[in-house]
Amino acid sequence: MAIPQIKEFPDPMPELDLVEAIPAEPDLGGAPRQLAILGGLPAFREPLHVGRPNIGNRADLQQRIDQMLDTRWLSNDGPYVREFEKRISDYIGVKHCLVTCNGTTALMLAMRGLDLQGEVILPSFTFVATAHALQWQQTKPVFCDVDPETHTLNPESVERLISPRTTGIIGVHLWGRTCDTAALEDIARRHKLRLLFDASHAFGCSHKGTLVGHFGDAEVFSFHATKFLNSFEGGAVVTDNDELAQKLRLMRNFGFTGYDTVQYLGMNAKMTEVCAAMGITSLESIDSFIAMNRRNHAAYATQLAGIPGLTLIPYDPSERGNYQYVVMEVDPTVCPLTRDELLRVLHADNVLARRYFFPGCHRMEPYRTLYPEAGANLPNTERLSDRILALPTGTAVGPREIERVAGVIRQAFAEATEVRQALARG
Ligand code: T4K
């Protein structure tokens, strides 16, 4: 199936709520800016967040909500949930889509539906929900290192971790950059393992020309408010497997097959109608969201170019990406400040950059206590989680903000000695 192309970026974009979200810069009356950490005014009056939600067309959303209230159908497989599922399946070209109340429950459902027990191999360099969903079901997460360039599972390391207790592999398409799906599928086939992808970051992304949603036994999306495509809270499992889809559908709704019949152990993982209405509305603006993210990524690339030791994580231009994360690696052996020092400078200036995903799942509870030896096999994870910084992007951020954020970073490096002294004073 042909991959939907991203339409050209219309400028301005009247159908989106943009400008009101942009935090204003303080007026310095032409005076040179001083870093806030050194006593100056913050670069932004309001915090500039990573993960500020994209809103889409507010009027369309409100109309959908009115209709929902008129019909008094608020949850339980309502018309918007069905429409959202159909639109996602059509978009990806996959047979089944089941939307859920969030991405974490979608992961839990998929893991249980695929009968993942014993040990499952997954990266530690991911949002903790990937590991929690497994541990919640008493399945042991076996943390595997990632490739230092792609930040996704290293297939050779995966193969080394397979034991007689292993039942599955979970790949994470981190930042929307896809795993080496062919290598992982090959390993899963040879060892008769289940293969699930946490595609929470990768809606609308492609791998070798195929849209995410087609890989492994199933793939899971998150539509959390902070994702570029959001349904307030929400998630989805997509799969071509009829039997799995049927099982998950029952498990999502307590295992009910009729008013009074329960055939399965289930839970309540349903998406509400208001969330589905938001999801549909977001999906209608997906081209604009992606175009803006791509524009922002390019602007950061220009603004941060040539800073020694600072690398902006690139996206493969030959693939379809959603560009929702702007992530940079700060090499402390080259940069005059460490990632954590730079983070404190940025926060003082109201740029709320995030250390995704610090410190790595294996260094969080309960994993740190349960599996204290896990870090020994994770040198790339440990290095990356100490170096990575996610910067604000999305429809609430534009070129002017990006220029200013980059200005703070350049100035922080240029004034590193004074910055270090200020940080030491607390
Ligand atoms: N797998 C992966 C790989 C994931 O990244 C995630 C979620 C999951 C699984 C699980 O999917 P869900 O169950 O969440 O659907 C945020 C999100 O809560 C989480 O969804 C996301 N990944 C993760 C990467 O980021 P936090 O703890 O960083 O969120 P929080 O509350 O600090 O929000 C981030 C920033 O966004 C804040 O500084 C403020 C801003 N914000 C946030 C919300 C909710 C707003 O401006 N408006 C808002 O409504 O985890």
Q: Do 256 and 290 share a domain, yes or no? A: no
Distance 225 CA to ligand 1 centre (A): 7
Please report, for the domain that includes residue 136, its CATH number.
Answer: 3.40.640.10
395 ligand 1 Cβ < 6 A: no
- What is the number of other CB atoms lying within 10 angstroms of the CB of residue 138? 8
pLDDT at position 13, please? 46
CA-107 nearest atom, ligand 1: 9
CA-357 nearest atom, ligand 1: 24
Measured by CA distance, the residue closest to atom 12 of ligand 1 is 103
- Is 50 a residue whose pLDDT tops 70? yes
In a domain, 246, yes or no: yes
51 ligand 1 Cβ < 6 A: yes
Q: Do 248 and 292 share a domain, yes or no? A: no
Q: Which of 174, 201, 224, 230 is the best mutation target for the ligand 1 pocket, counting ligand atoms within 8 Å of the beta carbon and taking the most? A: 224
User: Residues 73-87: what's their mean pLDDT?
Assistant: 97
129 ligand 1 Cβ < 6 A: yes
In a domain, 6, yes or no: no
pLDDT at position 114, please? 98
pLDDT band at residue 396 under the 50/70/90 scheme: confident
Q: Do 419 and 373 share a domain, yes or no? A: yes
Question: Number of structural domains, the chain?
Answer: 2
Q: Do 105 and 170 share a domain, yes or no? A: yes
Q: Which of 254, 284, 314 is the last residue of a domain?
A: 284
Q: Determine contact, residues 258/424, Cβ cutoff 8 Å.
A: no
In a domain, 252, yes or no: yes
Q: Which of 256, 284, 312 is the last residue of a domain?
A: 284
- Is 19 a residue whose pLDDT tops 60? no
Distance 226 CA to ligand 1 centre (A): 5
pLDDT at position 11, please? 45
pTM (2 decimals)?
0.95
Q: Do 243 and 100 share a domain, yes or no? A: yes
Q: Do 274 and 293 share a domain, yes or no? A: no
pLDDT, tens digit, 9 for 90 and up, residues 271-294: 999 999 999 999 999 999 999 999
CA-224 nearest atom, ligand 1: 15
- Is 362 a residue whose pLDDT tops 80? yes
Q: Do 239 and 97 share a domain, yes or no? A: yes
Distance 201 CA to ligand 1 centre (A): 11
Distance 156 CA to ligand 1 centre (A): 31
Please report, for the domain that includes residue 331, its CATH number.
Answer: 3.90.1150.10
Instruction: Say how far apart CA 147 and CA 34 lie, in whole Å.
Output: 39
pLDDT at position 20, please? 41
Q: Which of 242, 266, 284 is the last residue of a domain?
A: 284
Mean of pLDDT over the chain:
94
pLDDT, tens digit, 9 for 90 and up, residues 97-144: 999 999 999 999 999 999 999 999 999 999 999 999 999 999 999 999
pLDDT, tens digit, 9 for 90 and up, residues 212-261: 999 999 999 999 999 999 999 999 999 999 999 999 999 999 999 999 99
Domain span at 68? 58-145+152-284
